[in-house]
Amino acid sequence: MWRTYYTGAVFVIDTATNTVTDVGVGNGPYGVAVNMDGSKVYVADEESNTVSVITTTTNKIMATVNVGSVPRGVAVSPDGAKVYVANEGSNNVSVIDTVANRVMATVNVGINPHGVAVTP
């Protein structure tokens, strides 16, 4: 189970042992998404304009990706190849290549996008 904390951390709760591990991320973590096999977690850091990529085997940051302004919603494609991030402040969606951990495209959308979802 994952929970965000506004000052720059997410908490990993091990439901088997009821232990908590905090993982430092960018400022203002907001949206959280997990890839299909559970190996990576993507956190939209709205005050840092980044997405923190966490590997679940170690609960450590493996990459930080610069995205648009005030990222909020985040979703992983079913095949895990792309992550979509709704950037409220820049009115666009960043598309992240999950192999290279970089923005591969930016799509302009309507005003103040907060959420994003992916269908097969």
Residue 46 phi, psi dihedral angles, 5° rounding: -65, -25
Consecutive 10-residue averages of pLDDT for the chain (120 residues): 63 91 92 95 96 96 97 96 97 98 97 92
Nearest-angstrom CA–CA distance, 113 and 8: 22
Report pLDDT for 51. Answer: 98
| Rounded distance between C-alpha atoms, residue 83 and residue 93, angstroms | 10
Residue 5: per-residue pLDDT: 47
Count the domains in the chain.
1
Q: Is residue 23 assigned to a domain? A: yes
What single-letter DSSP state applies at residue 110? S
With b for 16 or more beta-carbon neighbours within 10 A and e for fewer, the 103-113 pattern comes to beeeeeeeeeb
- CATH number, domain with residue 70: 2.130.10.10
Which residue range(s) make up the domain with 7? Answer: 2-108
Q: What is the pLDDT of residue 65?
A: 98
Q: What's the pLDDT at 71?
A: 97
| Domain assignment present for 68 | yes
